[in-house]
């Protein structure tokens, strides 16, 4: 499914049907789309809800909020916040429990393809990288003030860049003579520090990813939100999460696996199975990846992986 947005960028919603089908929509249920984006998943969820159903969507991005404003359905509510405010925001709306929650992680195609946002090295534009441009520090502000060791740590941990120390040193040397202002400047400096790269990959790929994740606190907010989702889900409620790179998928995988194990007791402890509390989550099926047909139509779907779990009656 493609959506044409106001800036003339086309966004193809990845794993659209698979992610929404995984929610097993109940017509009168209450659902959350943690990452509205351009509304592909939200619109499909709404099409499956009955008159008494409800959908609450979250997004930091002002363009996403503007797109959400075009949906006049009374069953739909958009929240201009990151999903880390999930429990707090739902409480304000008078919602105590939900029937399902969907997360489509990472950066969207319109964000990458709009050079003015500063997410991509493909354009020479202001070095911003904030998903919410109304608050927080820009990438340029951080790069021009951070300690070299902190830059190296971010590039290594969030970008898995083996030349992280060299990249950080090059950035600090360059900013001493001229502070960073554009994506092109950063891309050029990183290229001098990264000696080898996988075929077809720009030398700045990992560094740009790392800085974007850090500026937007993506992994931290994901780790803080998953436990909130578990507490909010009703029994049999569904959790449907799409990740696009190994760092975020690792967090999702470990969270689901840990919650599906229940009590962690020593293997030889003399306890009956009936005395062990049920795990609060149940893993549903194997991870789902995009089909070759979808990947051909949208190459960015290649790295997507969908994990699904259901809330049990087990205690938290």
The binding site for S-adenosyl-L-methionine consists of 39-41, 59, 83, 104, 111
Give which of 278, 292, 286 is closest to 305, Cα–Cα: 286
Radius of gyration of the chain (CA): 21
Q: How far is residue 203's CA from residue 278's CA, in Å, rounded to a whole number?
A: 48
The residue among 223, 224, 192, 222 whose CA lies nearest residue 207 is: 192
Report the DSSP pairing between strands 305-311 and 288-289. antiparallel
Residue 21 makes CB contacts below 8 A (sequence gap 6+) with none
Give how far Cα 55 sits from Cα of 38, 63, 235, Å: 15, 19, 18
Q: Residue 19 and residue 103: Cα distance in Å, rounded?
A: 9
Burial (CB count within 10 angstroms: exposed 0-12, middle 13-18, buried 19+), residue 124: middle
79 touches 132 (CB < 8 A): no
Annotation: binding site: 39-41, 59, 83, 104, 111
Q: Are 315 and 31 in contact (CB under 8 A)?
A: no
SS percent in the chain: helix, strand, coil, step 5: 45, 15, 40
Cβ(108)–Cβ(98) under 8 Å?
Answer: no
Instruction: Please check whether residue 305 is in contact with residue 250, taking contact to mean a CB–CB distance below 8 angstroms.
Output: no
Place of tokens 């099409």: 47
């Amino acid at each position: 499914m493609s959506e044409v947005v106001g800036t003339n960028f086309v966004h193809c919603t990845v794993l659209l049907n698979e992610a929404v089908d995984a929610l097993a929509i109940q017509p009168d249920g209450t659902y959350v789309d943690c990452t509205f984006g351009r509304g592909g998943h939200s619109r499909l969820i709404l099409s499956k809800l009955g008159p008494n159903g409800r959908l609450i969507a979250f997004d930091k991005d002002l363009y996403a909020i503007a797109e959400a404003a075009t949906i006049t359905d009374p069953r739909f509510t958009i929240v201009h916040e990151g999903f880390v405010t999930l429990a707090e925001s739902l409480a304000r709306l008078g919602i105590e429990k939900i029937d399902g929650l969907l997360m489509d992680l990472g950066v969207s195609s319109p964000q990458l393809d709009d050079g003015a946002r500063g997410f991509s090295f493909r354009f020479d534009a202001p070095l911003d990288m904030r998903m919410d441009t109304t608050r927080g520090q820009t990438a340029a502000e951080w790069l021009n003030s951070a300690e070299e060791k902190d830059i190296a740590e971010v590039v290594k941990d969030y970008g898995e860049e083996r030349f992280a120390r060299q990249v950080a040193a090059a950035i600090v040397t360059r900013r001493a003579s001229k502070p960073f202002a554009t994506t092109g400047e950063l891309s050029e400096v990183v290229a001098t520090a990264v000696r080898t790269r996988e075929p077809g990959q720009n030398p700045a790929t990992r560094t740009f990813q790392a800085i974007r994740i850090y500026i937007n606190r993506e992994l931290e907010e994901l780790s803080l939100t998953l436990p909130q989702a578990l507490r909010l889900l009703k029994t049999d409620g569904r959790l449907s999460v799409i990740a696009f790179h190994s760092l975020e998928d690792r967090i999702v995988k470990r969270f689901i696996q840990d919650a599906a194990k229940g009590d962690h007791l020593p293997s030889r402890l003399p306890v009956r199975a009936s005395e062990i509390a049920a795990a609060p989550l149940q893993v549903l099926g194997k991870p789902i990846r995009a089909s070759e047909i979808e990947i051909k139509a949208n190459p960015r779907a290649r790295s997507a992986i969908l994990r699904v779990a259901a809330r049990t009656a087990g205690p938290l």
